[in-house]
């Protein structure tokens, strides 16, 4: 079964919208390696329409320019790119196609096909749906040490809780935390009476 990994830039107050407006001051070699590891091992990339259009508007030109990021741009260009959208889309970036049918059914079928990893970058609406359906194997959050104070947050209010477990963590020199979460069976149950046994006890 193929592994599905999602990676997101996120602020301390949970904002994931328009990271290009606030995350670049924190982008160093450590973050570049983390992003490369998330996308570089995948042979299929899932996108929402807005994220795809952002990528397609930049990375083909970067590949053609032959600069320092041309290698990564070629990796993205060579990958199979599947775009979830309710609109009929036309594609100029190679290896791009529109997701047909129901998102969850299609991704479930992709997950069970032979092949390499499946990655998502951004594409908040798709990440939310796959999380809720239990289809994400790894959620990589690059938590930036700032409060953006405006914009879309990762999790909607009023939706059912999604239990996760921390799989790994790393602190970068910039103060960014790379947190990797996976699905958990449940949050368990507990009460204050049980929790207070773990509080420091006063000396008698």
Residue 93: domain span:
4-116+124-187
Q: What is the pLDDT of residues 111-163, one digit of tens each?
A: 999 989 999 988 899 999 999 999 999 999 999 999 999 999 998 887 788 89
Q: What is the pLDDT of residues 157-180, one digit of tens each?
A: 877 888 999 999 999 999 999 999
Is 204 a member of any domain? Answer: no
Per-residue buried b or exposed e for 27-55, using 16+ beta carbons within 10 Å of the residue's own CB: beebbeebbeebbeebebbbbbbebbebb
**CA 153/CA 98 separation, integer angstroms:** 26
Pick from 102-111, 114-123, 182-191: least confident = 182-191
Question: Strands 42-48 and 117-121: what pairing?
Answer: parallel
Is 195 a member of any domain? Answer: no
CATH, residue 88: 3.40.430.10
Q: What is the pLDDT of residues 9-41, one digit of tens each?
A: 999 999 999 999 999 999 999 999 998 888 877
Dihedral angle sign, alpha carbons of residues 29, 30, 36, 41: positive
Is 203 a member of any domain? Answer: no
């Amino acid at each position: 079964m193929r592994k599905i990994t999602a990676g997101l830039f996120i602020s301390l107050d949970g904002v994931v919208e328009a990271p290009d407006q606030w995350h670049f001051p924190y982008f160093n070699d450590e973050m570049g390696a983390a992003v490369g590891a998330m996308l570089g091992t995948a042979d299929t990339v899932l996108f929402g329409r807005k994220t795809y259009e952002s990528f397609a508007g930049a990375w083909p030109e970067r590949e053609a320019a032959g600069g320092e990021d041309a290698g990564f741009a070629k990796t993205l260009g060579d990958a199979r790119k599947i775009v979830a959208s309710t609109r009929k889309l036309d594609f100029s970036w190679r290896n791009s196609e529109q997701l047909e049918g129901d998102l969850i059914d299609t991704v479930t079928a992709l997950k069970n096909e032979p092949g390499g990893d499946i990655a998502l970058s951004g594409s908040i609406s798709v990440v939310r749906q796959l999380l809720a359906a239990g289809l994400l194997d790894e959620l990589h959050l690059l938590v930036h040490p700032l409060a953006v104070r405006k914009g879309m947050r990762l999790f909607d209010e009023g939706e059912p809780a999604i239990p996760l477990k921390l799989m790994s963590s790393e602190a970068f020199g910039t103060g960014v935390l790379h947190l990797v979460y996976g699905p958990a069976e449940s949050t368990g149950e507990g009460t204050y009476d049980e929790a207070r046994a773990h509080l420091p006890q006063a000396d008698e």
